[in-house]
Amino acid sequence: MQRLGILLSGRGSNFLAIADAISAGRLRAEIAIVISNLAGSPGIAAARDRGLNAQVIPARARSREEHDAEIIAALQSAKVDLVCLAGYLRLLSPSFIRAYSQRILNIHPSLLPAFPGLHAQKQALEYGAKIAGCTVHFVDEKLDHGPIILQRALPVLPGDTEESLAARILEQEHIAYPEAIALVVEGRTRIEGRTVRITP
Amino acid sequence: MQRLGILLSGRGSNFLAIADAISAGRLRAEIAIVISNLAGSPGIAAARDRGLNAQVIPARARSREEHDAEIIAALQSAKVDLVCLAGYLRLLSPSFIRAYSQRILNIHPSLLPAFPGLHAQKQALEYGAKIAGCTVHFVDEKLDHGPIILQRALPVLPGDTEESLAARILEQEHIAYPEAIALVVEGRTRIEGRTVRITP
Write down the ipTM of this complex: 0.93
pLDDT in tens, B134-147: 999 999 999 899 99
Interface test with chain A among B110, B126, B131, B148, by most A beta carbons within 10 Å: B131
Is B67 one of the catalytic residues?
A: no
Average pLDDT, chain B: 97
**pLDDT at residue A57 tops 90:** yes
3-state class of A151 per DSSP? Answer: strand
pLDDT in tens, A176-192: 999 999 999 999 999 99
Cβ contact B115:B91 at 8 Å = no
Q: Which of A130, A131, A151 sits opposite B130 (nearest CB)?
A: A151
Give every CB contact of residue B164 below 8 A, 6+ residues apart in sequence.
Answer: B157
Arch. (CATH architecture) of B107-200: 3-Layer(aba) Sandwich (3.40)
Chain A residues with CB-CB distance to B132 below 8 A: none
Rounded Cα gap, residues B104 and B118, in angstroms: 19
Cβ contact A190:B158 at 8 Å = no
Q: Which of B111, B150, B194 sits opposite A114 (nearest CB)?
A: B111
Chain B residues with CB-CB distance to A195 below 8 A: 125, 128
The domain locations on chain A are 1-101, 107-200
pLDDT in tens, A8-28: 999 999 999 999 999 999 999
Taking alpha carbons only, the member of B129, B159, B161, B168 closest to residue A195 is B129
Rounded Cα gap, residues A7 and A67, in angstroms: 13
Phi, psi of A185 (to 5 degrees): -70, -25
Neighbours of B76 (CB within 10 A): 12
For the residues of A59-117, what is the DSSP string, one character each? -TTS-HHHHHHHHHHHHHHTT-SEEEESS--SPPPHHHHHHTTT-EEEEESS-TTSS-S
How do A189-192 and A195-198 pair as beta strands?
antiparallel
* Percentage of chain A exceeding pLDDT 70: 100
Tell me whether the omega of the peptide bond preceding residue B113 falls within 30 degrees of 0, making it cis.
yes
Neighbours of B171 (CB within 10 A): 14
**Residues A67, A108, A137, A174: which is the catalytic one?**
A108
Residue B184: what pLDDT? 98
pTM of the model as a whole:
0.94
CATH 3.40.50.300 given to domain A1-101: no
Residue A60: what pLDDT? 87
Element housing B71 (H / E): helix B64-77
Say whether B127 and A133 touch across the interface (CB within 8 A): no
Q: Which of B129, B150, B197 sits opposite A148 (nearest CB)?
A: B129
Domains B1-101 and B107-200 share a fold: yes
